[in-house]
Amino acid sequence: MDLLTFSLHNIFALLQQMSVFLVIAYLFTKSLFFRSFHINTLRWRQLLFLYFVFSIFSILGTYFGLPINDAIANTRAIGAVLAGIIGGPVLGVAVGLTAGIHRFSLGGFTASACGLSTCAEGLVGGLVHIYLIRSYQQHRLLSPTVAFFTTFVAEILQMAIILLVAKPFSASYALVKVIALPMILANSTGAAIFVSIIRDQRRMYDELSVTFSAKALKMAEQTVAILGHGFNRKTARDVAQVIHQETGVGAVAITDKKHVLAFVGDGNDHHHVGHKVSSTQTLKAIRENRIVYADGGKNKWRCNLSENCPLGSVLCVPLRLDDELIGTINLFEPKNKLFLVTNKTLGEGIAKLLSDQILYSHYIEQKNLLTVAELKLIQAQINPHFLFNALNTIIAISRKDAGRSRDLLMHLSNFFRKNLKRTGTISTLKEELNHVNSYLIIEKARFEDKLQLEIDCDPELLHLKLPIFTLQPIVENAIKHGISTLLGPGLIRLSAKKDQGLVHISIEDNGGAFEKQSQKGLGMNIVEKRIKNLCGDDHNLHISCIPGQQTVITLTIPEQGCKER
């Protein structure tokens, strides 16, 4: 047989056994282990697993080898080199050693040379691993090109070792001449194909999870916006539409504990919004507060409303608010379609997500309700002291000055009307000043010469928008806790000034009694909370107090005003 045909024959024979290998490699990539492993973070258990897998590859490579001249032309190198590239020098040498010892045990004049060279090949793979990691090229660990050339070099090394170690040299030389080319080519190609199989499988999984995540994120984004308006029929319909569109399932239904809130997709001719929940599985999910799944195979979904319902499988997931079931979300597939596992996972995830969102919007709603309630409270909390003292003052004044007492009654009336009638959350500085003005005029009458007022507001700021009922509680505080504790004359100074994009509104009194109040008090707290809520978190209410001399409350508001939320 002439050398060339023998070589070609060998190449084909080796390629044939390589195919067997590649089938095994393909099966390996289908294994559960493969899905869970990440090449950059191998744990010792995974390393151990890889050790066994590659050792078996390597040993099988020897077994499937072609006996030539008392030696074996084989694909043993693939296992060792790849173990080195993927798992590093330790794994590479370990696999090489194992396969090498095995080869050694089979005997022949190249036994020791082959055993040794397999170790060396594992080491070559390992060195390439180290090089790639050190030069931040981890992504090339699974590159077919790298695998090809590494194996290529490793095989040349093996041939060299055979020539050097195997005796007699003439025999080894003859052998190498025959096997070198087929083995180098077969092993290199095999390694490259093996790696590309692994890589393609991984890429498929990655792409799958990328699409999956993208879908989930897109849905999350859309549903967050919808559920911000609460959980009701309208938002349920919108959410169902989003899920229907994004998952591509046959139909989506959202229910509360008793009724259908939304139904989108196939079968909407007989599944109507507002009907009582009829689906056996949904009722079970509600009753037992757990996920119920009818896969459409053994466990079929049967429509209780229509014989002709196209739907055949369902996933019912409870929606919960603080662990309490408030409804369900149902994903249906038609009878002729399989319920995809990804859709099942996605469905469960969506329900969890929606539950969280409902909880959140519920919380926000509660928070808003609370602020509204608190606002009502300050409005209603017109200090009875103020009212009766005001009336008493006006009565006293009416004895001497009927005109003035009439004026004061008009202011009192204005003040009360404003308190009762003002709605919404935002007002202008002008309106706030008007409200406070009536209040101050009455207080001024009460204290007469004991109270002096100074108001200094930049006229440009009169249209500044700020939370309603911001000034009155602070001015009231300044009088109640500041001025009224003074034996001597009192001074209230109210000013509004612009400064570097901010407006500072300050209310100053000369009581300096703030330190005695350990906390801000309900009124002040609500004012501060509302400023933060409506004008932004970095705007606030600042208190400075020089005991016995002065208290200044400063509100900081953005120049462009605050916004209704």
Partner 1 sequence: MITALVVDDELHAREEMQALLEQTNVIEVIGSCSNGIDALKAINTLRPQVLFLDIQMPVISGFELLNMVHQDIMPHVVFVTAYDQYSLQAFEEKTLDYLLKPVDSERLAKTITKLSRTIVEKSEPVYQAEQIHRIPCSFGNRIKLTPLAEVEFVSTDGGGVQINTKDSTCFTEVTLKVLEERTPFLRCHKQFLINLDGVNEIILLDAGRAKIKTHSGKLIPVSRHFLKRIKKKILL
Which backbone phi and psi does 260 adopt, to 5 degrees?
-80, 125
Task: CB nearer to partner 1: give 485 or 540.
Answer: 485
Rounded CA separation 551/484 (Å): 13
DSSP summary character for residue 259 = B
Report residue 460 CA to chain centroid gap: 45
Distance in Å, CB of 394 to partner 1, minimum: 8
Q: Tell me the closest approach of the beta carbon of residue 382 to partner 1, in angstroms.
A: 12
How far apart are alpha carbons 378 and 389 in whole angstroms?
19
Amino acid at 514: F
Give whichever of 163 and 391 is closer to partner 1, judged by the CB atom.
391
Helix (H) or strand (E) holding 110: none
- Residue 398 CB, nearest approach to partner 1 (Å): 9
Q: What burial class does residue 221 get, using C-beta atoms within 10 Å of its C-beta: 0-12 exposed, 13-18 middle, 19+ buried?
A: exposed
Closest CA to 109 of 38, 183, 169: 169
Which one, 105 or 392, has the nearer CB to partner 1? 392
CA distance 299 to 124: 55
Q: Which lies closer to partner 1 via its Cβ, residue 20 or residue 395?
A: 395
User: Is the CB of 399 or the CB of 421 nearer to partner 1?
Assistant: 399
- Nearest approach in angstroms of CB 544 to partner 1 is 22
The set of residues, in sequence order, having a beta carbon less than 8 Å from that of 97 and lying 6+ positions away, is 118, 119, 122
Sign of the torsion angle spanned by Cα atoms 471, 472, 478, 483:
positive
Q: How far is the CB of 505 from partner 1 (least distance, A)?
A: 27
Closer Cβ to partner 1, 238 or 443, answer by number: 443
Query: Cβ of residue 489: shortest distance to partner 1, in angstroms?
Result: 12
Q: Measure the CA angle with vertex 320, ends 314 and 321; round to 5°.
A: 160
Task: Tell me which amino acid residue 92 is.
Answer: G
Q: Which residues bind partner 1 (CB under 8 A)?
A: 384-385, 387-389, 391-393, 395-397, 399, 445-450, 484-488
Residue from 132, 126, 117, 131 nearest 175 by CA:
117
Q: How far is the CB of 553 from partner 1 (least distance, A)?
A: 20
Minimum gap (Å) between residue 387 Cβ and partner 1: 8
Residue with smaller CB distance to partner 1, 384 or 424? 384
Could you report how far apart the first and last alpha carbons of the chain are, in Å?
Answer: 91
Task: Give whichever of 274 and 384 is closer to partner 1, judged by the CB atom.
Answer: 384
